[in-house]
Amino acid sequence: MAAVVAQRQKKQQASSSVSLFAAFDKDGDGKVSASELRGCMAAALGEDNVSLEEAAAALAAADADGDGLLDPAEFARLGLLGAGAEEDDVLCRRRCLREAFAMYAGEKAAVITPASLGRMLGKVLPPSSRKKEEEVIAVEECVAMIRRFDLDGDGVLSFEEFAVMMTADG
């Protein structure tokens, strides 16, 4: 029974992919160009600000034969690439957060301390934001910054607390 359901779902997906491809293939040549892709992306997003360069980049990601056009198989691949993009974005953001956390925490530290936060802010803040060239961020200011996101009250930021801080609005 499960095999029959899976087979039916596969046929439905293939059918909807073919009809979607036909909608994108405006000139009916069996290929989707960057211009056709751009027009459909703009219509789907409800915006006219999708550039031809953005559409060409999306097309290039799935263009296996390098002809600058998408055939039905490549078009289906583009859909699969898009389906995994959200997951890839989440993984990429998490990796970037880990790298930033390591910069603030230090090489072997598992937490951001007020002192390590002050050291890093002293490196990344432009001199114009400080009163004197040699002045660094005061430890008290760093303690106050950490306290705002220190969810467990231990006086330091763990990676999870840092992630909350970096993704917080305002």
> What pLDDT shows up at residue 111?
94
| Single-letter amino acid code for the residue at 48 | D
> What pLDDT shows up at residue 113?
93
DSSP 130-153: SSSTT----HHHHHHHHHHH-TT-
> What pLDDT shows up at residue 127?
61
Domains and CATH numbers, the chain: 2-86 (1.10.238.10), 106-167 (1.10.238.10)
CA separation for the pair 77, 125 (Å, rounded): 44
> What pLDDT shows up at residue 12?
43
pTM of the shown model? 0.46
> What pLDDT shows up at residue 152?
93
Intervals of the chain under pLDDT 50:
2, 4-6, 8-17, 133-134
> What pLDDT shows up at residue 49?
72
CA separation for the pair 165, 144 (Å, rounded): 13
Which residue in 138, 137, 131, 157 sits closest to 146, CA to CA?
157
> What pLDDT shows up at residue 74?
83
- Which residue has tokens 């890839």? 88
